[in-house]
């Protein structure tokens, strides 16, 4: 396979897929396709191959989609010796394909502006900003649901749908002991939005270098970065508020009330402060999680009926701030 570079490990170069991994991918793509703001790339079929190996191998048939990585450089790729000189140089490959990117970008939810229909650069920037908006929403949802996806420009489609879920892990703090491994996974999860943002910046750089010129890179990088950061921040606020039962469908996205922003920030601070004691290995539904106790106390307090004592919660300054905001 000429697309397998020198030094690639067996796992990423053999094309091998176990039946369990294939079913895992199909399961998550179907489920996340229903709950993520911009869905997931669906698995169309899992085909069992006749073989005597254990575990059995399978073929995964997925919708064909373009990914941002298809338009980026691959600076660490080194072709195998037998293919050296036969493959197009990476810079030339990007130079050829980057010109086709504008026509592949998603259409903004309000449509392209009149100016965009007259100016190819504005058209491209508006498409890039829409892609940034969709990616930011996807990452905000995953952040607030403690989903670690190992997301990169290689496993998200141009239209914002996620794919490749074999690395997916739920890091909900009540399900994990807070140890070194868990802390490392949380750190990786926190870095995923930045990885996608860097991928967007790379596209702006290549478009300027090989197509529109340097000024385009300067303008587009700022607009795309501003869009991504604003959408990610506000989407996180709304997703946290949604978990608290706040009806976010009546909140204007670009004008979230200050009191609700403070409430969301307090929730984040509480989760961070209590992350080492939130673990609850009990499967007994009668044994409430610390998070459930906190929400129950908030609701009871607001109704003047607080009858539950929990020293861990009551002594936490962030809980007191939440209470002040909620009341």
CA Rg value for the chain:
23
SS (H, E, C) 78-135: CCCHHHCCCCCCHHHHHHHHHCCHHHHCCCCCCCCCHHHHHCHHHHHHHHHHHHHHHH
Provide φ and ψ at 172, rounded to 5°: -55, 125
For residues 148, 152, 154, 159, the Cα torsion angle rounded to the nearest 10 degrees is: 90
Contact yes or no for 97/191 (Cβ under 8 A): no
Q: Which of 149, 190, 192 is nearest to 40 (CA)?
A: 149
pLDDT (0 to 100) of residue 18:
86
Contact yes or no for 59/46 (Cβ under 8 A): yes
pLDDT (0 to 100) of residue 38:
97
Contact yes or no for 295/244 (Cβ under 8 A): yes
Instruction: Provide the phi-psi class of 15: left if phi over 0, else alpha when psi is between -120 and 50, else beta.
Output: left
* Cα–Cα distance list, 124 to 46, 107, 213, 266 (Å): 37, 10, 13, 38
Contact yes or no for 5/79 (Cβ under 8 A): yes
Q: Which of 86, 27, 92 is nearest to 60 (CA)?
A: 27
13 CB contacts (<8 Å, ≥6 apart)?
A: 1, 4
- pTM (predicted TM-score): 0.85
pLDDT (0 to 100) of residue 276:
64
Give the residue extent of every domain in the chain. Answer: 66-243, 257-326
* pLDDT tens for the 327 residues of the chain, in order: 777 777 777 666 667 788 888 999 999 999 999 999 999 999 999 998 877 777 788 899 999 999 999 999 988 888 888 888 888 888 999 999 999 999 999 999 999 999 999 999 999 999 999 999 999 999 999 999 889 888 899 999 999 999 999 888 887 776 667 777 777 887 888 889 999 999 999 999 999 999 999 999 999 999 999 999 999 999 999 998 888 778 888 899 999 999 888 888 877 777 776 666 566 555 554 455 566 666 666 666 655 665 556 555 566 555 666 666 555
Please state, in angstroms and rounded to a whole number, the distance separating the CA atoms of residues 198 and 204. Answer: 10
Please state, in angstroms and rounded to a whole number, the distance separating the CA atoms of residues 327 and 185. Answer: 35
226 CB contacts (<8 Å, ≥6 apart)?
A: none
Length of the chain: 327
Start-to-end CA span in the chain (Å): 63
Q: Which of 74, 73, 104, 99 is nearest to 208 (CA)?
A: 99
Give pairs for 163-170: CB < 8 Å, separation 24+: 163/29, 163/40, 163/41, 163/62, 163/65, 164/25, 165/24, 165/25, 165/28, 165/29, 165/32, 165/40, 166/21, 166/24, 166/25, 168/28, 170/145, 170/146
Cis bond before residue 55 (omega within 30° of 0): yes
């Amino acid at each position: 396979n000429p697309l397998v570079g020198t030094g690639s490990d067996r796992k990423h170069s053999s094309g091998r897929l176990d039946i369990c991994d294939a079913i895992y991918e199909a399961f998550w793509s179907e489920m996340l396709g229903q709950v993520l703001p911009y869905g997931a790339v669906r698995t169309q079929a899992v085909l069992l191959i006749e073989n005597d190996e254990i575990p059995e191998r399978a073929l995964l048939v997925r919708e064909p989609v373009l990914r941002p990585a298809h338009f980026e450089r691959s600076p660490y790729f080194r072709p195998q010796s037998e293919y050296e000189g036969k493959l197009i140089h990476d810079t030339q490959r990007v130079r050829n394909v980057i010109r086709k990117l504008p026509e592949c970008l998603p259409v903004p939810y309000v449509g392209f502006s009149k100016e965009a229909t007259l100016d190819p650069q504005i058209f491209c920037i508006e498409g890039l900003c829409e892609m940034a908006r969709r990616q930011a929403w996807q990452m905000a949802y995953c952040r607030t649901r403690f989903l670690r996806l190992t997301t990169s420009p290689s496993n998200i489609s141009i239209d914002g749908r996620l794919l490749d879920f074999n690395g997916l892990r739920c890091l909900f703090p009540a399900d994990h002991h807070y140890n070194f491994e868990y802390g490392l996974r949380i750190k990786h999860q926190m870095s995923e939005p930045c990885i996608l943002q860097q991928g967007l910046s790379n596209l702006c750089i290549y478009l300027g270098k090989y197509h529109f010129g340097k000024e385009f890179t300067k303008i587009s990088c700022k607009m795309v970065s501003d869009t991504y950061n604003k959408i990610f921040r506000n989407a996180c606020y709304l997703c946290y508020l949604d978990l608290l039962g706040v009806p976010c469908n009546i909140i204007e996205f670009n004008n979230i009330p200050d009191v609700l922003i403070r409430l969301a920030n307090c929730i984040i601070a509480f989760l961070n402060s209590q992350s080492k004691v939130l673990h609850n290995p009990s499967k007994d539904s009668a044994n409430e999680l610390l998070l459930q106790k906190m929400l129950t106390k908030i609701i009871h307090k607001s109704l003047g009926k607080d009858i539950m004592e929990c020293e861990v919660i009551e002594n936490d300054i962030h809980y007191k701030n939440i209470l002040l905001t909620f009341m």
